[in-house]
Amino acid sequence: MDKLRLGIIGIGNIGTGHTSNILEGQCPGIRITAAADRRESRRSWIHEQLPDIPVFSEGEELIASGTCDAVLICVPHYQHPPLAISAMRHGLHVLVEKPAGVYTLQVREMNEEADRHPELAFGLMYNQRTNCVYRKLKEMIDGGELGTLKRVSWLITDWYRTQQYYDSGAWRATWAGEGGGVLLNQCPHQLDLLQWLCGLPVRVRAFCHEGKWHDIEVEDDVTAYLEYENGATGVFVSTTGDAPGTNRLEITGTRGKVICERNKLTFSRLAVDERVWCRTSPDAYMKPECETFEVETDGLNPQHSGVLNAFADHILHGGPMIADGREGIRGLMLSNAMHLSSWLGKPVDLPFDEVLFRDLLMERCRHSRHKKEVDVTYNMIGSY
């Protein structure tokens, strides 16, 4: 195999972006050999782009067609696990768009299926992990440069969306269609990065506000407080209602503080571990000596194409993927725990009661508001 034969399931907003990237030559190891979408308009579009490939209405038809080595799943979130499981059972490698799914129980099934197919690649489209700034930060933390985690704060309020956005898709921002709001649609990247960088907290208390800034039934404003096993604490704030919004991640460890903002990493490095200093300093107010500087990175940020290329390279040549699919459940645990805490009005310990979460979610789905069908497609690559 010199090129991976890829089937794209779901040629909606993000699927359109992936298709365009590949057609523009950004993924030399990949050839699109099939596509599927339930909408006639999207099938017509892909047929115009690639007249020679089979185009299906259903992902399951594509999976059974024998035309691909791998599938890229870009359909609404609820369908990620069942399609991934089916693809694996047909011997196909699988790359899933974020989030891994809507609730952890269904994602556990997907992960278990993946474990039964160690010969298959299973990846998650965590394109933000390819950003040089986050990669460098991960390297610094893992290398001990920040010492032990004390505090993390992420204000990620620059996911602005207008009412028009929410009116553009019947599945959007409904419990039945999407299973949540800003936590499920916009935040999965940051929730993954947060757990990737700092690990999972052991306790979450969140305050989700539903339909606060938009006429929708799910949350569009979230503030969450996190506690980690070592006592470190965190704050995570997100919304689709703020303009111009902020994206500022600050992580404090015992050996310094790093701020990630505007794609720059600023490190304040202490000469002495603060915990040692606190106990031994004869001065009451003085801080340890500190040097602040911008951290250099390799400047590379290949995003979606980077994930696709690593996925193909992994299958073709055994290279490393950007994110193993099994890790998708971790960010979703954070997201589910935030929802659950807000619904119950109290802190939630991790691991939480996943059956209770699913039941409460399904209850919401039963009362989910019907939205009229619309058929609008955006190329969203730029907005991620």
Query: Tokens standing for 384?
Result: 């991620």
Judged by CB under 8 A, the residue of 221, 310, 315, 322 near a second copy is 221
Cα angle for residues 207, 213, 216 (degrees, 5° grid): 90
Judged by CB under 8 A, the residue of 79, 225, 313, 343 near a second copy is 225
Which runs of E-coded beta strand occur in 254-349? 256-261, 264-270, 290-294, 348-349
Tell the smallest beta-carbon distance from residue 148 to a second copy (Å).
12
Residues in region 33-92 near a second copy by CB under 8 A: none
Nearer to a second copy, 113 or 274 (CB): 274
Q: Name the β-bridge partners of 130.
A: none
| Contact flag: residue 290 with a second copy (CB under 8 A) | yes
Tell the smallest beta-carbon distance from residue 351 to a second copy (Å).
21
Q: Of the ranges 57-65, 272-280, 299-307, 360-368, which one interacts with a second copy (CB under 8 A)?
A: 272-280
Residues in region 305-364 near a second copy by CB under 8 A: 346
Judged by CB under 8 A, the residue of 51, 52, 279, 367 near a second copy is 279
Nearer to a second copy, 269 or 330 (CB): 269
| Contact flag: residue 247 with a second copy (CB under 8 A) | no
Tell the smallest beta-carbon distance from residue 279 to a second copy (Å).
6
Which runs of E-coded beta strand occur in the chain? 4-9, 30-36, 55-56, 70-73, 93-96, 122-124, 149-156, 203-210, 219-227, 233-239, 247-253, 256-261, 264-270, 290-294, 348-349
| Contact flag: residue 372 with a second copy (CB under 8 A) | no
Residue for token pair 């490190």: 267
Sequence-separated (6 or more) residues with CB below 8 Å from residue 199: 149, 228, 229
| Contact flag: residue 118 with a second copy (CB under 8 A) | no
Tell the smallest beta-carbon distance from residue 278 to a second copy (Å).
5
Residue 48: Cβ-neighbour burial (10 angstroms; 0-12, 13-18, 19+): exposed
Q: Of the ranges 128-136, 156-164, 194-202, 351-359, which one interacts with a second copy (CB under 8 A)?
A: 156-164
Q: Which DSSP category does 29 fall into?
A: T
Tell the smallest beta-carbon distance from residue 335 to a second copy (Å).
18
Residue for token pair 């969450």: 224
In angstroms, the first-to-last Cα distance of the chain is 31
| Contact flag: residue 116 with a second copy (CB under 8 A) | no
Nearer to a second copy, 41 or 57 (CB): 41
Judged by CB under 8 A, the residue of 106, 130, 239, 297 near a second copy is 239
Q: Helix 13-23 vs helix 40-49: angle between axes, to the nearest 10 degrees? A: 10
Q: What phi and psi values does residue 127 have, to the nearest 5 degrees?
A: -65, -25
**Cα distances (Å, whole numbers) of residue 128 to 47, 228, 272, 381:** 30, 23, 32, 12
Nearer to a second copy, 102 or 149 (CB): 149
| Contact flag: residue 150 with a second copy (CB under 8 A) | yes
Q: Is 229 helix (H, G, I), strand (E, B) or coil?
A: coil
Residues that bind a second copy (CB under 8 A): 150-151, 153, 155, 157, 160-165, 168, 205, 207, 209, 212-214, 221, 223, 225, 227, 231, 233, 235, 237, 239, 241-246, 250, 252, 256-257, 268, 270, 274, 277-279, 281-288, 290, 292, 346, 378, 383
